[in-house]
A and B are shown apart, each in its own frame.
Chain A
Amino acid sequence: MTEHNTAQNSEGARTAPVEFTKRTDKTIIKVADMHKWYGTFHVLKGLNLDVKEGERIVICGPSGSGKSTFIRCINRLEEHQRGQIIVDNVELTNDVKQIDTVRKEVGMVFQHFNLFPHLTVLENCCLAPLWVRKVPKREAIATAMEYLDRVKIPEQADKYPGQLSGGQQQRVAIARALCMKPKIMLFDEPTSALDPEMIKEVLDVMIELAGSGMTMICVTHEMGFAKTVADRVIFMDQGEIVELAPPEEFFSNPKEARTRQFLNQIL
């Protein structure tokens, strides 16, 4: 994975970022009849989703619809109570070893960045490769610089997160996740906490990443991003997947009334 990933970066990414080339038929994430409760509150009600390797999926929906909870289940930051989640052939259960195996391959970007404030940007990026992947230090630093370069802030490497703007912090967070060379990237409302002028710089990085063939699942309200990048768009409401369709169809000809109502409100 890592090899063809970097190969893709060099050619495909720069020339035609959104034009998508590599897709296998391999299912990398399989969610089957997955339920979750918070106490007695039924948050997720029987979700089903197959994600192919290299696919880019955007999840939207009103707040409280369970979309964040859904993607947080995929790397087990939240646990599900019924059904199955299989990520890269590993099923998520209470087995800590399996959870760790999955988390190694799944990068996550949070709404509030969650950078480690006591470490510099470079140290943030090197931490997990050094301690989880056991990569030699020199190599970890080289990889980190490569990704910081890719998110266009190599010059901030020695600063602390507190010294950066929100947009810069989020780009560091993306680089930090990429340094683990994950197979899948999860984005949990990555631009929601940003000032409007910083949203674009983060979206640009994400679009570039999408062009490189990364499997991405992205919870966002940026419909422009969904139109350009997504292979499929999911609309969630009240813990259910209401609509699942390619973007052309999703935006121009939504089947469900609830989807139409939502789209009217935000577009």
Chain B
Amino acid sequence: MSLPSELPPRQDIGVIGWVRKNLFSTWYNIVLTLVAVYLVITSAGPLLNWVILEATFTGESATDCSGEGACWLFIGQRLNFFIYGFYPDALQWRVDIMFGLLAVAFMPQFIERFPRRKWFGIFGLTGLPLIGYILIPGGWFGLEEVQSSRWGGLMLTLILAYVGILAALPIGIILALGRRSDMPIIRGMCVVFIEVWRAVPLITVLFMASVMLPLFLPDGVNFEKLMRALIGITLWQSAYMAEVVRGGLQAIPKGQYEAASALGLGYWRKTGLVVLPQALTLVIPGIVNTFISLFKDTTLVLIIGLFDILGAVQSTITDPAWRNVTTEGYVFVAFCFWIFCFGMSRYSQNLERKLDTGHKS
């Protein structure tokens, strides 16, 4: 006697249903929808024209640019400088190898089913920087030496961010643990370190590292400018990282510590096997947020005369041979930064999903 079940009313499902429900449900929704559509149409057209339709992609020099759309030709012509800085053309293969290895190490991390992707990641964090340390400056194994003052562009940006990120995380973890230590001297030292470095702007740190530090060092002891900047960035960043990690440590219930202690795990095992894995998982969003900020803050090295990608582009747009390419230059830089930052963001979300075991004890 039961009636056959019917399909839902047509206007409630599918595209029409969605549009009705979300865009035209009330009179003010209708108005908002129409205004939004108008704005999109009026702005998308000119944007599309500028970026693609009227843009110039091929040619030899500034005269080939039509003047209407974007002059992407400029980016193409100067791409080498934007990527490698003053790194000698003949030796750029060394940097290319590093770009390749970077891709090999991290692309698999975005593919869920990639076999042994964990090992690729571990290589990215250990082997990769080691190879880079040998390959990029040269001077070993018959490789011709390239002074760090000749490095620049995207390559320099990546080196600054990579070293900063890689070194700041472990130092930050140690500082965070130290700040929660029972031992007053260790705790005090960590608090002072964190509070001093965190309260100083990165510009000041870089400036001190580049200008003031050499004055205090004894004669004959001198680091390269890049090395000084790297140390400054790392210490500054690790103070931030420490506070992010400490937030995670504080979220771990006391019961977890007690259970680990009751099983006979000592401090380091308890921390390494029980507390940190949970704490770090909790603060992945905060950690990646800090990484992304650092990645963008590396542009500040401009003020101590290092030419990262922004510096490289900025110095080129003032070139009299190219007029009115300012917008193109900055759009290109913004796009490069967006690619890397968005990649980090996606990866972190990926990681969060994977590590979520559906239980907060």
Contact = CB atoms under 8 A, between A and B. Distances in A.
Interface string A73-102: 001010000000000000000001000100
A160 B359 contact: yes
A162 B355 CA distance: 13
Interface in A108-127: 108, 110, 112-118, 127
A4 to B, nearest CB: 22
B5 interface: no
Nearest to A161: B359
Contacts of A104: 264
Interface residues of B, number: 24
Contacts of B256: 114, 116
B263 A103 contact: yes
A128 interface: yes
Nearest to A97: B266
Interface string A44-79: 000000000000000000000000000000010100
A163 interface: yes
Interface stretch (B171-179, B224-232, B273-281, B344-352): B273-281
Contact of B361 (A75, A115, A177): A115
Contacts of B261: 75, 77, 103
A106 B360 CA distance: 27
Contacts of A180: 263-264
A118 B262 contact: no
Contacts of A103: 261-264
A38 interface: no
A128 B263 contact: yes
B258 interface: yes
A162 B265 contact: no
A132 B263 contact: yes
Contact of B278 (A107, A117, A127, A162): A117
A163 B258 contact: no
B184 to A, nearest CB: 17
Contacts of A177: 262-263
Contacts of B260: 116
Interface in B240-271: 253, 255-256, 258-266, 269
B269 A131 contact: yes
Contact of B259 (A96, A115, A160, A163): A115
Chain A contact residues: helix, strand, loop or mixed: mixed
Contact of B258 (A100, A110, A128, A176): A110
A118 B264 contact: no
Contact of A160 (B255, B263, B278, B357): B357
Nearest to B270: A131
A163 B263 CA distance: 23
Contacts of B269: 131-132
Nearest to B255: A114
B357 A118 contact: yes
A127 B255 contact: no
A209 to B, nearest CB: 17
B359 A100 contact: no
Contacts of B14: none
A112 B361 CA distance: 9
A77 B264 contact: no
B343 to A, nearest CB: 25
Nearest to B272: A131
Given A77-B261, A110-B259, A163-B358, A118 B266 contact: no
8 contacts: A77-B261, A110-B259, A114-B255, A114-B259, A116-B274, A128-B265, A161-B357, A180-B263
Given A77-B261, A114-B259, 7 more contacts: A110-B262, A113-B361, A116-B259, A127-B263, A131-B269, A161-B361, A162-B359
A-B pairs, 4 with minimum CB distance: A162-B359, A114-B259, A128-B263, A114-B255
